[in-house]
Amino acid sequence: MSSVSNDPFPTTDLSPFADRIMRINAPRAYARLTVEGPGDPQARAALSGATEKLMLSGPVQDVNEARAMLAGLWLWHDWLDESHRISQSINTPTGSFWHAIMHRREGDFSNSKYWWARCRNHPVMAALGQQAGAVLHPLPADKSLLRLVNAGWNATAFVDLVEEVHDRPDDPRLAAAVALQRLEWRTLFDWCTRAAAGR
């Protein structure tokens, strides 16, 4: 995560353009586990025509990771098709990671698991396993939540949890799932930012 205190977004190496896109309606962004219909229209207008070159404040060292950042920004604002077009064209574990998230968010849970299998050794998985404890620790013990961090981050167990709770607003695990989804996005996006800058 970013070393900038009290800032929920990574800012090191991030361009002012990308930072501005992330902050559009930030409190409401990425709050749904599954998405039907269009995303945020203000974000769409801002992202239309954006390229990987606009993602960083300095030169792009890894074009695939910068493109992955762009896929992440579309996903952050619930534009699944736009994110999908980008992530499916990135033949790296990071592209598969964003691809897996997109399919989970569209409710295609089995397809999401397929893409998780293609990125199970991504470095972000270890970081998620460590950071997810902060979200889960205050909650009552629940097998479906404990499975998420049993041996690091278990992405397929998270797909199962989302499938169980995405359409159950009264399920007490729903808020934790949304918090974990946002943590997952921020951790991966921050990793992509550093990788795109060659760090």
Burial class (CB in 10 A: 0-12, 13-18, 19+), 11: middle
**Helix H or strand E encompassing 25:** none
Q: State the pTM of this model.
A: 0.91
Mean pLDDT rounded to a whole number for the chain:
91
pLDDT for position 116? 95
Beta-carbon count within 10 A of 22 CB? 23
User: Using CA atoms, how far apart are residues 17 and 22, in angstroms rounded to an integer?
Assistant: 9
Confidence of residue 144 (pLDDT cuts 50, 70, 90): confident
User: Using CA atoms, how far apart are residues 151 and 11, in angstroms rounded to an integer?
Assistant: 30
User: For 104-135, what is each residue's pLDDT tens digit?
Assistant: 999 999 999 999 999 999 999 989 988 998 88
**Which phi-psi region, left, alpha or beta, contains residue 49 (left: φ > 0; alpha: ψ -120 to 50)?**
left
User: Using CA atoms, how far apart are residues 156 and 109, in angstroms rounded to an integer?
Assistant: 9
- Output DSSP code: residue 53: G
- Is residue 1's pLDDT more than 60? no
- Give the residue, 146 or 83, on which the prediction is more confident: 83
Please compute the mean of the pLDDT values over residues 144-157 and round it to a whole number.
87
User: For 162-188, what is each residue's pLDDT tens digit?
Assistant: 999 999 999 989 999 999 999 999 999
- Is residue 91's pLDDT more than 90? yes
- Is residue 6's pLDDT more than 70? no
- Is residue 150's pLDDT more than 80? no
